[in-house]
Amino acid sequence: MDPRTSSRLDALTTAHLTDACLRAGVPVRCAPAGTRAVEPGSRVAGRVLPARHAGSVDVFLEALAGALPGDVLVVDNGGRLDEACVGDLVVQEAASAGLAGLVLWGLHRDTADIRAIGLPVFSLGALPTGPLELRDRPDDALDRAGSGAWSVGTSDVVVADDDGAVFLPADRLPELLTLAERIRDTERRQADRIRSGESLRDQLRMTEFVERRNSEPGLTFRAHLREIGGAVEE
């Protein structure tokens, strides 16, 4: 990912980006609720480097051999909550390979050591035990990774922060960044106006909306917001 794109992503939240997806008609693909940083306050953004875990660390080592600097290792362990799939050694290896971080559909362990390494890691939580069994490894284990309902690969970008993680199609990224920046800037102006004493109700012309809805029952608040340039819901 080029430095300019990385810089723009760093200035946006996952909330801005999901709202941009709604505006652009792009499916909103979030990692499962509960996906959180091992070190609160962490964030990461980069190209998806997929790996489907089958009970052995070898899949991660193979994935890292083909990694580009700034990639994010997205690990699919099927959302299992009975075993951890990544520990400190994999995280240290990923850091040494120049990755930007990891996003797991599963659990991690070695929390203290991972925090000491300093590489952003997002997971569903921690558990002391590692893999409990070896499973059949799918042929496409390095091509696609699941995260909840979604399947992602190297044609996707992942962004994660305190709200969770979202996956974006790389070929739509320039459009989504522009939309997200507009949404961010609009919301910041609205927040400033609230602090200055102008209520959000007045900014979004709620009285006008309610009156119009009485005569136009099909009018939605989102349609009203789009007409007046509000951001709140998307």
Binding residues for Mg(2+): 110
Q: What's the rounded Cα separation, in Å, for the pair 31 and 175?
A: 21
Give exposure, 4-39, as e/b (b: 16+ Cβ within 10 Å).
eeeebbeebbbbbbbbbbebeebeebbbeeebbbbb
Show binding-site residues. 87-90, 109-110
Quote the strand ranges of the chain, DSSP E.
29-30, 36-37, 44-52, 72-76, 84-86, 101-105, 107-108, 121-123, 145-147, 150-152, 156-161, 164-169
Show binding-site residues for substrate. 87-90, 109
Q: Is 226 helix (H, G, I), strand (E, B) or coil?
A: helix
Other C-beta atoms lying within 10 Å of the C-beta of residue 225? 18
Cβ-contact 59, 53 below 8 angstroms:
yes
Structure tokens at 118: 């300093």
